[in-house]
Amino acid sequence: MQVNMNTTFSRETDLIDSLIAGRQPGRALPREFYSDENVYRADLDRLWRRGWLFAGHSCEIPKAGDYFTLEVDADSLIVIRGEDGVIRGFHNVCRHRGSLVCTAAAGHVNRLICPYHQWAYGLDGRLVACRGMQDDLDKSQLGLKPIAAREVAGMIYTSLAENPSPFEPAQELLSAFAKPQGFRRAKIAKAVDYLVKANWKLVWENNRECFHCNLNHPQYIKANFDHYNADDTTPRIKTEISAAINRSETKWAAAGLAATHKQSGMTVFPDAENNIWFSANRTPLVEGYVSETMNGKQGAPLMGDYIDADVGTLRMRTLPNFWNHSSCDHAVSTRLLPAGPQLTAIRVWWLVDEKAVEGRDYELDKLLPFWQLTSEQDWQICERQQRGVNSSAYVPGPYSIYKEYNVDGFVRWYLKTLDSARH
Amino acid sequence: MQVNMNTTFSRETDLIDSLIAGRQPGRALPREFYSDENVYRADLDRLWRRGWLFAGHSCEIPKAGDYFTLEVDADSLIVIRGEDGVIRGFHNVCRHRGSLVCTAAAGHVNRLICPYHQWAYGLDGRLVACRGMQDDLDKSQLGLKPIAAREVAGMIYTSLAENPSPFEPAQELLSAFAKPQGFRRAKIAKAVDYLVKANWKLVWENNRECFHCNLNHPQYIKANFDHYNADDTTPRIKTEISAAINRSETKWAAAGLAATHKQSGMTVFPDAENNIWFSANRTPLVEGYVSETMNGKQGAPLMGDYIDADVGTLRMRTLPNFWNHSSCDHAVSTRLLPAGPQLTAIRVWWLVDEKAVEGRDYELDKLLPFWQLTSEQDWQICERQQRGVNSSAYVPGPYSIYKEYNVDGFVRWYLKTLDSARH
Amino acid sequence: MQVNMNTTFSRETDLIDSLIAGRQPGRALPREFYSDENVYRADLDRLWRRGWLFAGHSCEIPKAGDYFTLEVDADSLIVIRGEDGVIRGFHNVCRHRGSLVCTAAAGHVNRLICPYHQWAYGLDGRLVACRGMQDDLDKSQLGLKPIAAREVAGMIYTSLAENPSPFEPAQELLSAFAKPQGFRRAKIAKAVDYLVKANWKLVWENNRECFHCNLNHPQYIKANFDHYNADDTTPRIKTEISAAINRSETKWAAAGLAATHKQSGMTVFPDAENNIWFSANRTPLVEGYVSETMNGKQGAPLMGDYIDADVGTLRMRTLPNFWNHSSCDHAVSTRLLPAGPQLTAIRVWWLVDEKAVEGRDYELDKLLPFWQLTSEQDWQICERQQRGVNSSAYVPGPYSIYKEYNVDGFVRWYLKTLDSARH
């Protein structure tokens, strides 16, 4: 096997090297990055199995033994809360004959018991029972394979890497921003799953610019300032933003919140040069909007530490698979998972305060449409782009320096990540 | 990338070379030609992206700004009528980030505007607006990529080749034959799309013989003489054909029409040795039939220049993707497009005179069945053949010299085309 | 083509060699064996196209001209009874242009006539008519390609090998065991087809142990002793088995039946070292059970030579694709066919005496559930295991020496078969 694997491997490495070298600065990526099976495998190997992946929310598994599963391509993972309250992650693969251990999307267990031959694992992954096996089996070597897991302000991250990169810098930033939103005291009002026929990078590139918002997101642009950039922020818009900032700043400071993005346009992210894969900021909404709902009005009880609806909008994003938009009354999390070279599994969650009761304190048909429409508009865009990019006539075009600086940043971050993980 | 691509490329070329060399004269093609991914890519590269492809009818886009789209494997194309009335073709791929520009199958536009960031192209493909981009962008280099387009007597052809082969010889022949049919003054009565699980060459081979007609096409053989060949054309059949010719010839000559195929059996096509990829002929129908309808009777107003229903049947075909059977009152066009090694997208159109009104002048349930049944019988045959050809036990069998001369001609044309386009 | 094919071929051989060498004794197979396209092709080439495959039952084709078809991956096969009463097998591929000849799953014909151009083959496969072909065609060279076929006590086996291994040893054993069950005087009460998303070897490994029975097969374990093994057969269970044997042995001997498996646990099979791919045994059921039905009661008239319901259970299995569980009143056959690296087509048949009449002598809702539930429980297990095995975190775990000796035997048989068929 040695020879073959090495040959295959080295050819794949050569291919990726040459593709990376072939990208022209300031332009979109060549077609292979969005469609080729070899690039997809490199993405899995060098990026998805190395980085920190958003998995879900800690409020989804409040009690010891609560778990959920997720799938990173063919890798099924369990995220579970232990008897000590700590959240852990494991590969969802029995060490006996390889069956999935947890077959449900979520649930509660006392032990993790494989349905095939009932090998039983503790909530900490240790093999605790395997009736019918010979006595000299070394159980200590047969625990569920662990994956790194971290919880930050109610958000759960995992990494499939043996030696993941330090999580602390992200932890520090995200906990500061997320704390007042109260994710740990939240509940899931709704979750919707999508299977989008586009490479995961097209979904991110779409996320990293609001150049497309004007005509594609009629709801979103009513509430936000993102789609105004250096080239088209008129004096009137500047005045509106300043006014919004002025209205909020003193009040926010008193509440321990800060407006960290005070301009039009999107905050700069990612920072490829410094390998910054996480970011958060708080910014005002357009006057008349206190929540990202269709009419801008509050649609659920205040979340977390908020004592006033006027908190603007909190935004967080972490590469390669998470973003969140939070209003005073609800929060919307989006998680991407790769499911094929041209297929991305996306889940969108709506969170509200844990004590809020549907029908009494909020109604889904008021809370969901803003981000459900905006999300689905984006998935449709990405699928149309994938089809065009697949054409033999596709050539990478130029980015707008005013509006697509973050797309370029994402592409540079991606290429650098891929290149630096070269074996 | 150089090395890898060349290696891959050279191995594919070697494979195709050896497969071409391995075909035995007078026999069907080896399995790989009908199933292998490498052969399919060579077909796309050497044949589909080089030849003249039938795209549709000019009557489908009568006004400036009318367009339709089509897909040659992953290549999406736009065919559109310009403000000058000229029909043009473009790759349906935005030069910015590669999105499809036209997302509908057909429509009308003033400009071709990409739905992603609203880059706007004129009907001639020039980039006319791209708000939000830097000023120093050279718009003249960012027009939609053009493809060659020709209109002949109401039929539209396109070529993805940079330097397509001359269209004039086909133009000359087709316009002479098609003119009296009046395609430019026609309208689409109905179009039906099929996704046939068979390699495109199996569909053509099926089309190139009427050896299979006797038991598979009960409707077709009542109206036509194709299924009689050198080995089984009895004196009675010869007399019937002569009688049919005699009945028509003087009248047709007076009307400027000519019976160009006066025998039983099918006209010889293609001519591999002379690389003739287009052909047309007019031939009589069986007595009692003035139209290819179930009962042989006229089912719609006369088309084009015809002043008498007795015009026999006009047949045209162009490789690699078109054939047409026209009666006095309606015409049926068939277009093939490759969609995978074992998948062909087929559209069948029924055309009638532009002034004909459904329900008053014609009824679809009278007009469609003859060719709808015959077509669907053929698709089923092709799918069964594909399954058998996929067997490890398949070996190419001998062609009948009486009945499959055109299948052999097609195969020789195909192999010669593939070989001559060798890089 | 020589060079390419050899290169591809030699790389595949190297890969298989190194995978075989890499398997650790006493452990499950590495992931590639269950998922890789190259391994799957080697399985087809070295094992499925060489061994004896169970095809169906002779009672399905009682009369001359009765046939059924089956598919081994892309190879479609016909099994047909000739005018001489002999059962023969052929590739279901016309020697003319490769179409499937029989398009139905089963039927009756006087001749095998290709639906494309009506080439006609006798029931013995000889080409008897091909109208329209040139006279100098050597028909004797154009018969349907035969495959080996054998009938043993009502069970039909075929082999795609040019020189199949001797069938006699299997014939001898199976006929002795199967004769009293009377398969030749049986009829099909019901057949159910499944498409299971798992490699065929996972299905076999599941079949080769009852370690998983306790919690997965609540119906099965009530009737059988298989799930008790060396490590957990209590004195009480031993006494029960002895009692069951004692009850039956004299009576069975008088009836020409023998209890050939008198212990708890499963009989040892396969025997990798001696390349034994077939096996049969008769063993008692738990007291109170005379048939593998939900309540253990007889559900249909006695089959074959039986004159008493107390005949225990007859079990047969042949690699790579058959097992059968027979009770006094009905028999259940299971046939596996490979349909992809992670896809297995499975048919389960329920047979009863040919004179039994549904509604009068038996009812399907009484006869089917025992094995329908047990089978479907197994398919679900296999699909869950496939998903886990696909994970990048999967590593082959240890087998229980008490309960998985037959799984290990199957794996050793498989590897030896693969290795010995190395080109």
Q: Is C256 on the interface with B (CB under 8 A)?
A: no
Pairs across A and C, CB distance < 8 A: 94
Output the DSSP codes for A292-339. SSTTSS--SPPPTT--SS---EEEEEETTTEEEEE-SS-EEEEEEEEE
| Mean pLDDT within B74-85 | 98
Instruction: Indicate yes or no: CB of B99 within 8 angstroms of CB of A384.
Output: yes
Instruction: Indicate yes or no: CB of C116 within 8 angstroms of CB of B385.
Output: yes
Give contacts of A 28-47 with B, CB under 8 A.
28
pLDDT digits (tens, 9 = 90+) for B121-179: 999 999 999 999 999 999 999 999 999 999 999 999 999 999 999 999 999 999 999 99
Contacts of A88 (CB under 8 A, 6+ apart): A79, A80, A81, A82, A123, A124, A125, A146, A149
Q: What is the pLDDT of residue A192?
A: 98
Instruction: Indicate yes or no: CB of B98 within 8 angstroms of CB of A388.
Output: yes
| Mean pLDDT within B338-362 | 98
Whether B281 and B335 have beta carbons less than 8 Å apart is answered as: no
Q: Mutate which of A394, A401, A402 to test chain B, going by most B C-beta atoms within 10 A?
A: A394
- Radius of gyration over alpha carbons of chain A, in Å? 23
Mean pLDDT score across all residues of chain A:
94
Pick the most confident of A11-15, A19-23, C9-13, C366-370.
C366-370
pLDDT digits (tens, 9 = 90+) for A332-357: 999 999 999 999 999 999 999 999 99
pLDDT at A377 over 70: yes
Q: What is the pLDDT of residue C258?
A: 83
Q: Is B397 on the interface with C (CB under 8 A)?
A: yes
Q: Is A247 on the interface with C (CB under 8 A)?
A: no
Of B211, B212, B392, the CB nearest to C75: B392
Q: How far apart are CA B81 and CA C132, in angstroms?
A: 48
Please give the model's pTM, rounded to 2 decimal places. 0.95
Q: Which of A200, A212, A416, A218 is nearest to A322 (CA)?
A: A200
pLDDT digits (tens, 9 = 90+) for A179-231: 999 999 999 999 999 999 999 999 999 999 999 999 999 999 999 998 888 88
pLDDT digits (tens, 9 = 90+) for A235-275: 998 898 888 888 888 889 888 888 888 888 888 999 888 88
Instruction: For residue A358, give the DSSP letter.
Output: B
pLDDT at A417 over 70: yes
pLDDT at C274 over 90: no
Pairs across A and B, CB distance < 8 A: 94
pLDDT at B68 over 80: yes
Of C229, C391, C400, the CB nearest to A76: C391
Which residue in A has a C-alpha nearest to residue C211's C-alpha? A117
Q: Which two tokens stand for residue A234?
A: 């008129």
Q: What is the pLDDT of residue C3?
A: 35
Give the gap in angstroms from C-alpha A232 to the nearest C-alpha of chain B: 8
Q: What is the pLDDT of residue A8?
A: 56
Q: What is the pLDDT of residue B241?
A: 87
Instruction: For residue A48, give the DSSP letter.
Output: I
Of B11, B384, B395, the CB nearest to C100: B384
Q: Which of C268, C291, C229, C66 is nearest to C156 (CA)?
A: C66
pLDDT digits (tens, 9 = 90+) for B174-215: 999 999 999 999 999 999 999 999 999 999 999 999 999 999
Q: Which residues of C touch A90 (CB under 8 A)?
A: none
pLDDT confidence tier of residue B2, bands split at 50, 70 and 90? very low
| Mean pLDDT within C200-223 | 95
Q: How far apart are CA B378 and CA B384, in angstroms?
A: 10
Higher pLDDT, B302 or C247: B302
Instruction: Indicate yes or no: CB of C387 within 8 angstroms of CB of A76.
Output: yes
Output the DSSP codes for B13-64. HHHHHHHHHHPPTTBPPPTHHHH-HHHHHHHIIIIITTS-EEEEEGGGS-ST
Q: Is B120 on the interface with A (CB under 8 A)?
A: no
Q: Packing angle between helix A2-22 and helix C2-22, nearest 10 degrees?
A: 120
Give the gap in angstroms from C-alpha C23 to the nearest C-alpha of chain A: 12
Q: Mutate which of C386, C400, C401 to test chain A, going by most A C-beta atoms within 10 A?
A: C400
Q: What is the pLDDT of residue C9?
A: 57
Of A75, A94, A131, the CB nearest to C392: A75
Q: What is the pLDDT of residue B423?
A: 63
Q: What is the pLDDT of residue C2?
A: 33
pLDDT digits (tens, 9 = 90+) for A42-73: 999 999 999 999 999 999 999 999 999 999 99
| Mean pLDDT within C393-422 | 96
Higher pLDDT, A92 or A8: A92
Higher pLDDT, C2 or B394: B394
Q: Which of B348, B346, B278, B350 is nearest to B317 (CA)?
A: B278
Give the gap in angstroms from C-alpha A188 to the nearest C-alpha of chain C: 28
Whether a cis peptide bond, with omega within 30° of 0, leads into B320 is yes
Q: What is the ipTM of this complex?
A: 0.95
pLDDT at B231 over 90: no
Instruction: Indicate yes or no: CB of C1 within 8 angstroms of CB of B21.
Output: yes
Q: How far apart are CA A97 and CA A138, in angstroms?
A: 16
pLDDT digits (tens, 9 = 90+) for B248-274: 888 898 888 888 888 888 889 998 888
Which residue in B has a C-alpha nearest to residue A8's C-alpha? B4
| Mean pLDDT within B61-65 | 98
| Mean pLDDT within C383-389 | 98
Q: Is C235 on the interface with A (CB under 8 A)?
A: no
Q: Is C14 on the interface with A (CB under 8 A)?
A: yes
Q: How far apart are CA A266 and CA A233, in angstroms?
A: 12
Which residue in A has a C-alpha nearest to residue B93's C-alpha? A388
Higher pLDDT, A399 or B227: A399
pLDDT at B3 over 80: no
Give the gap in angstroms from C-alpha A13 to the nearest C-alpha of chain C: 19
Q: What is the pLDDT of residue B92?
A: 98
Instruction: Indicate yes or no: CB of B115 within 8 angstroms of CB of A18.
Output: no
Q: Output the CA torsion A16→A17→A18→A23 (10° steps).
A: 90
pLDDT at C110 over 60: yes
Give contacts of B 354-383 with C, CB under 8 A.
381
Q: What is the pLDDT of residue C12?
A: 81
Q: How far apart are CA B389 and CA B279, in angstroms?
A: 29
Q: Is B115 on the interface with A (CB under 8 A)?
A: yes
Q: What is the pLDDT of residue B4?
A: 41
Q: What is the pLDDT of residue A3?
A: 35
| Mean pLDDT within A288-305 | 97
pLDDT confidence tier of residue B379, bands split at 50, 70 and 90? very high
pLDDT digits (tens, 9 = 90+) for C225-253: 988 888 888 899 889 888 888 888 888 98
Range of weakest confidence among A269-278, B115-124, C196-205:
A269-278
Question: Distances from the Cα of A289 to the Cαs of A177, A263, A293, A310, C370, in angstroms?
Answer: 21, 17, 8, 9, 63
| Mean pLDDT within C142-146 | 98
Measured at the CA of C219, the angle between CA C213 and CA C223, to 5 degrees, comes to 90
Q: Is B113 on the interface with A (CB under 8 A)?
A: no
Range of weakest confidence among A359-363, B266-270, B342-346, C11-15:
C11-15
What is residue A175's three-state secondary structure? helix
Of B11, B229, B388, the CB nearest to C99: B388
Q: Mutate which of B206, B211, B381, B383 to test chain C, going by most C C-beta atoms within 10 A?
A: B211
pLDDT digits (tens, 9 = 90+) for C281-329: 999 999 999 999 999 999 999 999 999 999 999 999 999 999 999 999 9
Of C103, C117, C145, the CB nearest to B384: C103
pLDDT confidence tier of residue A5, bands split at 50, 70 and 90? very low
Q: Which residues of C touch A142 (CB under 8 A)?
A: 397-398
Measured at the CA of A119, the angle between CA A118 and CA A125, to 5 degrees, comes to 130
Please report how many Cα atoms fall inside a 13 Å half-sphere around the Cα of residue C9, on the Cβ side.
10
Q: Mutate which of C8, C10, C37, C97 to test chain B, going by most B C-beta atoms within 10 A?
A: C97
Q: Is C199 on the interface with A (CB under 8 A)?
A: no
Which residue in B has a C-alpha nearest to residue C130's C-alpha? B400
Output the DSSP codes for A254-274. HTT------SSSPPP--BTTT
pLDDT at C423 over 70: no
High-pLDDT (> 90) share of chain C, %? 84
Q: Is A198 on the interface with B (CB under 8 A)?
A: no
Q: What is the pLDDT of residue B7?
A: 53
| Mean pLDDT within A279-295 | 95
Instruction: Indicate yes or no: CB of C4 within 8 angstroms of CB of B22.
Output: no
| Mean pLDDT within C20-29 | 94
pLDDT at A423 over 80: no
Task: Using CB atoms, list chains with 3+ pairs below 8 Å to chain C.
Answer: A, B
Contacts of A136 (CB under 8 A, 6+ apart): none
